[in-house]
Amino acid sequence: MKTKILLVDDHKILREGIRSLVKGYDDIEVIGEAPDGKTALQMVKELLPDLVVMDISMPDMNGIDATRQIRKEHPDIKIIALSMHHDKQFVSEIFRAGASGYLIKDSAFDELDHAIRVVMSGKTYINPQIASLVVESLVSQTSTPPPQSFALLTEREREVLQLIAEGRSTKQIAIDLSVSSKTVESHRRQVMGKLNIRSVAELTKFAIREGLTSV
């Protein structure tokens, strides 16, 4: 039986590269592609893949929140994170969200096949470049603090922050989230208060630094 995969990344060229790579294997099949976390949630419901290869920094919804929702609704679906981030905070947070693997983008093509087979066998796969960070954390017996955006903000506040950083107006965000403009404004004030940030420009810089969205 083939392992059915959903590719989630906002860079089409990377999705095409992975799809091309997977074509070389008889027991792995790409059944769909999504450019962002929200689209991924819908496609997971429709396609029910065995595994999702998930970017972390994407528009509309980041990969960490998307991973958390997918695992909550479909606990049997495995997720491999695909990221440019080497920070142990991001590694820890994506695993807290329910991922079973973590690949660095610049080595993904060399490792993906192996990572898929490891994860589908019920084990965890971590890219060797960042494995030392995880071991470091365990040896020091200190818990890795989550990024500020996940430690301080609710999931809905992170959604609003990400959409603000991506240039959406209050009205557009209200439509996207199916809430009132007043509710969006309330979330924006709460976010700025919690983060002690006073401008949209600062919010945007924060969201990029925290990996909620890409430049």
- Residue 116 predicted with pLDDT over 70: yes
Beta strands in the chain (DSSP E): 3-8, 28-34, 51-55, 78-83, 101-104, 125-126
Structure-token pair, residue 92: 């820890």
- Residue 142 predicted with pLDDT over 60: no
- Residue 34 predicted with pLDDT over 90: yes
What is the set of domains in the chain, with CATH numbers?
A: 3-139 (3.40.50.2300), 148-209 (1.10.10.10)
- Residue 136 predicted with pLDDT over 80: no
- Residue 58 predicted with pLDDT over 90: no
pLDDT band per the 50, 70, 90 thresholds, residue 137: low
pLDDT score, position 145: 58
Instruction: Identify whether the C-beta of residue 105 lies closer than 8 Å to the C-beta of residue 84.
Output: yes
pLDDT score, position 89: 74
Whether the pTM exceeds 0.85: the reply is no
pLDDT tens readout for residues 173-211: 999 899 999 999 999 999 999 988 888 888 888 888 887
**CA-angle at 148, arms to 147 and 153, nearest 5°:** 115
- Residue 119 predicted with pLDDT over 80: yes
pLDDT tens readout for residues 157-171: 988 999 998 889 999
Residue entry with tokens 């922050």: 161
In this prediction, what percent of the chain has a pLDDT beyond 90?
50
Please count the other Cβ atoms lying within 10 Å of the Cβ belonging to residue 50. 19
pLDDT band per the 50, 70, 90 thresholds, residue 139: low
Q: Please list the alpha-helical segments (H only) found in 23-107.
A: 37-47, 63-73, 88-97
The values of phi and psi at residue 53, to 5°, are -95, 110
Instruction: Identify whether the C-beta of residue 61 lies closer than 8 Å to the C-beta of residue 35.
Output: no
Distance CA 75, CA 46 (A): 16
